Amino acid sequence: MGTLFRSEPMCKAQFYLPPEAAYNCVAELGELGSVQFVDLNPEAVSFQRQFVSEVMRCEETERRLRYIESQLVREGMEVPVGDKATPAPQPREMTELEATVSTMESSLKTVSENFVSLRRNLLELKQIKEMLSRADGFLTEHRHHLEEEEVEAAASKAEREETSGMEIHVTAGVIDRSRTLGFETMLWRVSHGNVFVKFADIEETIEDPRTGDMLYKAVFIIFYQGDLLKAKVKKICEGFHAAVYPCPDKVEERKEMMAGIKTRLEDLSTVMSQTRDQRDRLLHAAAQDLRLGYIRARKMKSVYHILNQFSLREGQRVLVGEGWLPTAEMQAIREAMGRGAESSGSAIQPTLEKVSTAEEHPTFHRTNKYTSGYQHLVDAYGVNSYREVNPSVYTIATFPFLFAVMFGDAGHGGWGTRVVVHVVVVVVC
């Protein structure tokens, strides 16, 4: 048996497992946590291994669980902590786990996409409402001012007649506040000063339908003449990602359009409320089993990862593996393998044989709740050789003293020891 001052005696052993009981045996050994397996197929790439399809299925399940978790984090919902003592699920349960997680993911994606679409429509309707509410003042105040400037700028009577006969075009929409200066400068340069643009900030902050960030927008309206300028203004609006909306010239048409927008906003709010409630119900249901799904998928993936390190022999009738284990744990490991074979209903008992080898043995220190933090702290600087004196035992006595020297008193040293040990344990776990 090992002690606190030296690592435990280790030995190398071979595992002979019947294929029908291999999964359960490795799962039991994983719960025991006393075996370090050796890869017997180092030259084989991942897609050439026997259980690569099962590993990929587990990874796909983890990906779906991560998507569900991202939606929970985005909504700020708490996820209950799962029971780590949950055993690895049976292979036949993999299909059920995949179906459950896949159904939850597809339902959340459908509801989330619908909700994003509704929020996008809400954003557009709010922008149109703000644009129409400011269009009356713009059109009554500045159209007359623009016509006077155009008439006064004409150099001759013929030019005045031509200018007065041209139709004044209006382009209105919404743009980010941060782009208003560059937008106005570009319009002025392209049109050579032949446009008149007016901005008004939207006081209400609007939420981005996809990211949830707050958007700060401004309403703009542009007055100009000629079809050539109309095409240029359209391209500039597209370049600055400005949303352009139709703005009727007549007051009655604008009022009618505003009434329709308000009605659509009320209906949309009702639909969004129902969609949000449905999404919250789905997220709450997903949060209850999220950690449990993670634990089951990762344990199953770990079992298949270890089985990929085994080799098939004797006409694929036995799986052979190698691993390092503490000599004192031989009997416990045999019992764990027996439980695995019994739970799988195999008539062939697995076998464990000790192997003599001149290879360098791995170092294994058995720790408890108190010494594990110091052991991890020492291992971070380097692991001692096999059966070498363990320096972490002396660190238990010297670390508080050195920490106290740095801070000047033993009180800080004792407090710092508890903090560092807790941090090390949390990081390692």
Q: Whole-model pTM?
A: 0.72
pLDDT at 427: 40
pLDDT at 297: 92
pLDDT at 3: 67
pLDDT at 322: 93
pLDDT digits 0-9 by tens, 354-398: 988 888 899 888 888 888 888 888 888 888 888 888 888 888 888
pLDDT at 426: 39
pLDDT digits 0-9 by tens, 174-212: 999 889 999 999 998 988 888 888 888 888 777 777 777
Structural domains in the chain?
117-270 (3.30.70.3450), 367-429 (no CATH)
pLDDT at 59: 93
pLDDT at 423: 40
Segments of the chain with pLDDT less than 70: 1-3, 82, 139-166, 314-316, 404-429
Contacts of residue 3, defined as CB under 8 A and 6 or more positions apart, other chains included, come to: none
pLDDT at 373: 84
pLDDT at 47: 81
pLDDT at 306: 93
